[in-house]
Structure 1
Amino acid sequence: MPASAPAFRVAPRVSAHAPALSRADGISWLVVAGAVFNLALCFINTRHVVTVHNSEIVLCELFIIFLAFLEVRNTISPAVVRITGVMVCFEVGAKLINPGLDMKILHDLAIAYVFYQLGTRSTPRAGERTIWVMMAIILFIGFFELMFTNLFGMVFDVWTYYVNKGVIASTTVNYSNTNLFISGNRGAAASRTFFQSIFGSHRVSSIFLEPDSLGNFSAIGFAWCLSTHLGSRLRHACLFFLSALCFVLADSRFASGCTVAMVLLRLTPLYRSRFVVFAMPVAVMLGLMIQGANHEMPGILPSIIGDNFSGRLLFSGRLLDYWNLPQWFALAPSQVYTADTGYAYIINNLGLPLTLFLLALFTMHPARTEAAVSIKAMISLYFSTSLCIGASVFTIKTAALLWFLYGTTNSVAPVADTVRQVPERLKSFRFNRFSPSAEHVT
């Protein structure tokens, strides 16, 4: 190698217990299954083959997670087993004190870890193929829903599916007069943000059955495009465009703002700093609390006064400000439901110390490639913004893809099969706010 050429770190050797990469390249079908199984169950329920309730949906989801676990079981380190044991013991103990604690948070964390590990057994090119396959399915179903809405409702009765699931009450008035999800239509005073004259009030949900998840998929697509450079420039630009098309179809205000923030972050050296990755969600949560403290309403429980983006932010801030110490340590139930504010959902079910510990683990986890450094920062930004208005980032429909893609950038595949490795000259990392150095690779 010429002396002037940058040196690249060779990826760690695959352990004897790791599955063959040729086999691992085909396991991404579990990610696709996690995204489309709700659509399949909705079809079964609509055709009255079986009446699908929440229990059947949970069993299908757990089965997919179990299959993914079987693929990665030999790669789980003893440290992870010990940490998991401590977390489970804490959650069980806290549940005895706080009956309102939702043990589902362990399921959410399991999705993140298992599908990340699944990604590390695959390759970035398999991740690229996976997102293209999902994009093709999503756009096909999405345009079918958009152009033939009544026929789509006859095939997929989304409203009844969510009533059976328990998300929508059977007494809820369906003002849209369609079979779409309750948020699948911007009617009355709530006008569409993008191309109202073309799309009307319809918000496309595609395979996810709800538009919020399509917006999340769009943000994940942007994070992947900003972090990797696989294939031709035309192909890469096309994936950028299609990701933007997804948030336009879903009319996702969150996704449009999040993708702009991702682009701005990627244009600065701050995305390389572990401090920034750790600080973003903490700073946003503190900002919400300050906003809530400035709009206190003594004696009145926090509620969503205006069902828009600013109203949801204010609700999140007021709820965090309203809490006492037991709520912050998961030792007492929240006085108000936490489904519409992700920060409250996490902290009231894990406790602030454990939440910060898990965030630190994610932040300090070494990145093997330049793409992993970038996508880690994009994930932190994605969570920082999305948790302000809900906990949809934890649904397997999009979370499986997100963590799988992150895992592929930390793949154990040979260097020839991966994205560009972190140069040796960028290995050193200064743990400070404005460090331009890449993460230390071990």
Structure 2
Amino acid sequence: MTAGLNPAATLPAADWRAPYQGRVAFAVLIGALVFNAALCFLNTAGFPVSGGTVMGAEVAIIALTLGFALDERPGPWLILAGLVTYGLLLVVLRGSTDVKGIRDFLIPVVFYNLGRRSPDLRSADRAVLASGVIVVVMGLFEYGLFDVYQQYFNIVRYYVARGSMSPSEINELTGSLFTSGIRPDSRTILPFLGPHRVSSVFLEPVSAGNFGAVLFSWALYRRTMRGRAWLFLCAAITIILADARFGAYVCVAIAGAMLVGYRLPRLLWFALPFTILLALAVYGFESMQVTWQNDMAGRLLWAALLVTSLPPAGVWGILPDKLFLADSGYAYALTQIGVAGALVAWGLFTLMPARNPDGWRLRCAMAIYLCLLLVISDSPFSIKTAALVWFMLGAADGAEREA
């Protein structure tokens, strides 16, 4: 009788979230983008932060996202439960308390499903464009008013406080910037801009360059987007200010994947990262070089050496020792989720049906982005850039096909 008098009582429990879905998605995406910069500001202002503070902020963002990402459909819940259970098993086998691998599983699932529940692609357009504008404005502030910027954002002190850097890594060349914030050799993109590599809200330039490639991929994908030209401009400015050579190369590869590469069979996309990993392993075992330089050839050599340095326990994700593998995403992925977890996770990504061909085109572009970036960095696992990547993929898969 009560249900008959109250029509809302007959609606699914998840329906109450629908009016807030777009605003919450926008808020968590911006939060994931800027929370590190906000914590850096607080730390510089005298409110000390720690690694636990950063972890707590990430947990809060992921928890809020989870509350609005999953609905009554059992599929996402089963996938999430399976991946988290596998991650906990690895933690137990390692005999450690490091749950970073579980976080690496959570981010793709929750933000992808948040994108799937996005009201429409125009809502996603606004979130992506707003993210790009924030990054550019902060980047121009850092570059144009650097002395003022340093008074409010001491990046080195922040990374030391959170435990990501040791005081011994501080040097006079970079000052308050991250280690890679100054290009020691000649700048590649527009040399007249000087050696300063702008980090914007990411606090380090590698993620800034990667984010520029992400913005470029959405602008290329969304042919009918309002403000598309502005998004292309945001992508270009971000990559140029960060002097992101790799980000520029990845944009070319993304364009190829989105224009023609999406026609390739899914099995080839599934095999791509494992083929690259095998090539790195062969290169690492066969190469007689042990020193490397900070250029593309040198970074490939160093990535290969890191991959081949892993013991069998590292390949299966049960190595108890914590290694520094930030310069090789493939080595990092193996130690965090193991080869079995990598096979399952990548299989879900490449073999899961797409609702429309346009969504598959973007997925191929992001597959290229991830596979190439994992060669030289573990940044695809960082929530700073990964949140928007997986949201975009979910929004594209959940949208109706454009005319």
Q: Tell me the TM-score normalized by structure 1.
A: 0.82
Residue matched to 1:107: 103
Q: What is the alpha-carbon distance in structure 1 between the residues aligned to residue 354 and residue 84 of structure 2?
A: 27
Is the 1:375–1:406 contact (alpha carbons within 8 Å) kept by the matching residues of 2?
Answer: yes
Superposed CA deviations along residues 335-355 of structure 1, whole A, max 9, x for unmatched, are: 953222111111122221221
Residue 3 of structure 2: aligned partner: none
Cα distance in 2, alignment partners of residues 139 and 90 from structure 1:
39
Candidates 212, 221, 229, aligned match of 1:218: 212
Provide the rounded CA distance (Å) in 2 between the counterparts of 1:116 and 1:386.
19
Following superposition of structure 1 onto structure 2, how do residues 321-360 of structure 1 map, counting pairs within 5 Å?
321-333=308-320, 337-360=324-347
Which residue of structure 2 aligns with residue 379 of structure 1?
A: 366
Cα 1:173–1:358 shift into 2, 3 Å: closer
Partner Cα distance (2:134, 2:311) in 1: 46
Q: What is the Cα-based RMSD across aligned positions, in Å? A: 2.4
C-alpha distance in 2 between matches for 1:286 and 1:101: 30
Any idea what the Cα deviations from partners look like across 1:243-265, whole Å, max 9, x if unmatched? 12211110111101111111122
1:184 and 2:181 correspond:
yes
Moved more, 349-358 or 374-383: 349-358
- Equivalenced residues, count: 391
Unaligned runs of 5+ in 2: 1-10
Contact preservation (8 Å) 2:285, 2:308: yes
Selected match of 2:127 from 130, 137, 140: 130
1:238 maps to which of 230, 246, 269: 230
Q: Is the 8 A contact 1:120 1:408 kept in 2?
A: yes
Shift of 1:51: 0.6
5 Å matches for 1:41-440?
Answer: 41-48=39-46, 50-75=47-72, 77-99=73-95, 102-122=98-118, 123-176=120-173, 178-187=175-184, 190-197=185-192, 199-231=193-225, 235-271=227-263, 273-296=265-288, 305-333=292-320, 337-411=324-398, 415=400, 420=402
Give distance in 2, aligned partners of 1:271 and 1:402. 21
The one-letter amino acid of 1:227's match is Y
Partner Cα separation in structure 1 for residue 322 and residue 36 of structure 2: 31
CA-CA distance at 1:68 after TM superposition: 0.8
1:319 offset after TM fit, Å? 2.8
* Contact 1:54/1:164, CA 8 A, preserved across alignment: yes
SS at match of 1:204: coil
The aligned residue for residue 5 of structure 1 is none
Distance in 1 of aligned mates of 2:55 and 2:304:
31
Contact 1:115 1:407 in 2 (8 A): yes
- Kept in 2, the 8 Å contact 1:153–1:178? The answer is no
Tell me the CA shift for residue 96 of structure 1: 3.7
CA displacement at 1:390 relative to structure 2: 1.4
The Cα shift of 1:29 comes to: 1.4
The amino acid of 1:42's aligned partner reads: C
Specify every segment of 5 or more residues in structure 1 that has no aligned partner in the other structure, as ranges: 1-13, 298-302, 422-442
Deviation per CA, 1:34-64, whole angstroms, max 9, x where unpaired? 101111111111111x111111111111111
Instruction: Render the CA deviation track for 1:101-150: whole Å, top value 9, x for unaligned.
Output: 84201102211111111111112111110111112111111111111111
Instruction: Using the TM superposition, give the Cα deviation of residue 82 of structure 1 relative to its aligned residue in structure 2, in angstroms.
Output: 3.9
Q: Retained in 2: the 8 A contact 1:215–1:252?
A: yes
Q: 1:281 to 1:179 in 2, by over 3 A?
A: same
CA gap 1:335/1:57 in 2 versus in 1, 3 angstroms: closer
Determine the C-alpha separation between the residues in 1 that align with 2:325 and 2:205.
Answer: 20
Contact 2:174 2:181 in 1 (8 A): no
Shift of 1:374: 1.0
Indicate the residue corresponding to 1:32 in structure 2.
30
Conserved 8 A contact 2:207-2:385: yes
Q: Report SS of the residue matched to 1:254.
A: helix
Rounded to whole Å, the distance in 2 between the matches of 1:362 and 1:225 is: 22
1:204 is displaced (CA, Å) by 0.6
Opposite residue 160 of structure 2, the aligned amino acid is: V
Distance in 1 (alpha carbons) for counterparts of 2:41 and 2:322: 37
Pair 1:144–1:281, CA change in 2 (3 A)? same
Partner letter of residue 228 of structure 1? R
**Is the 1:184–1:204 contact (alpha carbons within 8 Å) kept by the matching residues of 2?**
yes
2:13 & 2:48 partners in 1: Cα distance?
A: 45
Aligned with 1:183: secondary structure? Answer: helix
Deviation at 1:23, TM superposition (A): 2.7
* Structure with more relative contact order (C-alpha pairs < 8 Å, separation 6 or more): 1
Alpha-carbon distance in 1 for matches of 2:116, 2:15: 10
Report how far residue 324 of structure 1 moved: 4.4
Paired with 1:265 and 1:398, the residues of 2 have a C-alpha distance of 20
Residue 394 of structure 1 deviates from its aligned partner by 1.1
Contact 2:212 2:238 in 1 (8 A): yes
Structure 1 range deviating more: 283-292 or 387-396: 283-292
